[in-house]
Amino acid sequence: MSEPMVQPVIIAGMSKTVANYDYAMSELEALVEANNMHAELRIDQSLEKPNPATYFGKGKVVEIKEMAEAEDLNVMVVNADLTPSQVRNLETETGLQIIDRTGLILEIFGNRARSKEAKLQVKIAQLQYQLPRLRTSIANRLDQQAGAAAGGGGGFTNRGSGETQLELNRRTIQDRISHAKHELKELNKDAEVRRSAREKAGLPNVALVGYTNAGKSTTMNGLVKLFGKGEDKQVFEKNMLFATLDTSIRQLTFPDNKQLLLSDTVGFVSNLPHNLINAFRSTLAEAASADLLIQVIDYADPHYKEMMATTEETLKAIGVHDVPMLYAYNKADLTEANYPNQQDDQLIYAARDEASIQALTKMIKAKVFKDFVTTTLLIPFNDGDVVAYLNDHANILKTDYLADGTQLTVELNTVDAQRYAKYAVTPA
C-alpha cells in the first residue's frame, strides 16, 4: 500500500499575540506534519491585535495571496482560532482553503481515532466546531461529514414550514450531537463498571500522562515487556504527534507478585481545543482515578518546561487534582545527560533502555506499594486455597509448616490484609 501524498501548505501566525511565538510555530509545523502536510512556507505578522475581519492586516492578506500563487499553494494553516467570518473573508480574498489551529487538531484526531469511543468523542467535538460555521454554501459538504460522524439520520423530509436550509442544517447537526453523546454515555457506563471492578480488586492504578510524543507508549511498552503477561500486546508507538488516541490498560506483575494496572492516556498539546478536552474527559478518567501519575517529559526538547506547564494545565482542566506524580524525563539518550539518574520524584531516563525502565519500576513500586503491610498468618491446612492464592498474588517472605497449619510471613495490600485478618497471628 503506497504512502499518501504529503500536501504542501502555508503556515501563518501573529507574533505579538502569542507567548513563546517561535515555539508555538514549531509546534504548529509538527501538527501540520502529523496531518500528512508539509509546511512549505511560513508567514509571520507583527500586529498588536488581529484584524477583526481577516485576522491579518490588509497588506499581509495581499502578500499571502501573491506568495501562494507564486508557490502554487492552496492551503493555509493559521496558528489561531479564527472566527467563522475571518475564515470566510480570508478564503475569499486569498483564494486559499483556510484551516485554523482547532480545525487542524480536529482533523488529526479524526484521522487517528480507532475505537468506537474515540471516534464518538472526536465526532462530537467536530460537530460542535462546525455548528457556528454553518452556511448555506457548504451545507451539503457538512451534512455529509455530520452524517458520517453520527451515523445516519440524513434527509430533510421533515423540514418545517418556513425553515431555511441553514436552520435545518443546524438542527440536524444538533440532533446528531445529541445522538452521539447518548451513544458515548452508554459506552462510558460500561467503562465505569470495568473501572469499579478493577478498584474492587485492590490493584493500584498508575497512569502515564504528558505531552504528545513525549514517549508514553514507548515507556509503557518497556514496562509491559519486562512485567506484562505473556499475552499482553505492545501498544502502538510512532514518532509523531497524537500517534494514538485510545487509552490502553495493561496489568503488570513483578517478581515479588506485587501487581498494578498501567494506563497510557492520550497526549496533550498546548491550547488543546475545549471541545476535545470535554469529549475526552471520560477517556482521561483513568488519570483522574489513578493512585499515581507518571508525567513523561521529552527531556531532549528545548521547550520541555513549557510542555510540562501545558500538561499541568490540562490535568486541571479535566479535574485531576491531588494525585501523586513522578516526573520522568525521557529521551536522555538524545542529550548529554547521564541516565538513569534519580533525584527524589524525578528520573532522567531513556524509555528504550532496560536499566532506565528498572529504575522507573523501583520508583513506581516505592510509591504505590508504600501502604503494604508485613504480617504473619497461620492458615489451617483445610484452607489450602488461601495459601495457594497468597503464593500467586502476594510476596511470601517466609513459610513454616506447623502442627496446626501453614504459617506465612507475607506482604499484603490493604484489601487482602483485611480479607485475611482472621488468620493473623497475635504477637506474643
- What are residue 294's DSSP bridge partners? 208, 326
242 annotated binding-site participant: yes
215 annotated binding-site participant: yes
d(CA 247, CA 206): 12
46 annotated binding-site participant: no
267 annotated binding-site participant: yes
Residue written as cell 445522538? Answer: 179
362 annotated binding-site participant: no
191 annotated binding-site participant: no
- Encoded amino acid at 228, one letter: G
103 annotated binding-site participant: no
264 annotated binding-site participant: yes
190 annotated binding-site participant: no
d(CA 363, CA 358): 9
333 annotated binding-site participant: yes
Q: Which long-range contacts (CB under 8 A, 24 or more apart) does 422-428 make?
A: 423/377, 423/378, 423/379, 423/383, 423/386, 424/375, 424/376, 424/377, 425/376, 425/377, 425/378
Three-state DSSP at 207 gives strand
236 annotated binding-site participant: no
116 annotated binding-site participant: no
389 annotated binding-site participant: no
365 annotated binding-site participant: no
Residue written as cell 514507548? Answer: 218
330 annotated binding-site participant: yes
- Encoded amino acid at 214, one letter: A
DSSP string across 41-79:
EEEEE--SS-BTTTBS-HHHHHHHHHHHHHHT--EEEES
392 annotated binding-site participant: no
217 annotated binding-site participant: yes
332 annotated binding-site participant: yes
331 annotated binding-site participant: yes
Ranges of beta strands (E only) in 143-256 are 205-210, 248-253
- Annotated binding residues for GTP, as ranges? 210-217, 242-246, 264-267, 330-333
- Annotated binding residues, as ranges? 210-217, 242-246, 264-267, 330-333
- Annotated binding residues for Mg(2+), as ranges? 217, 244
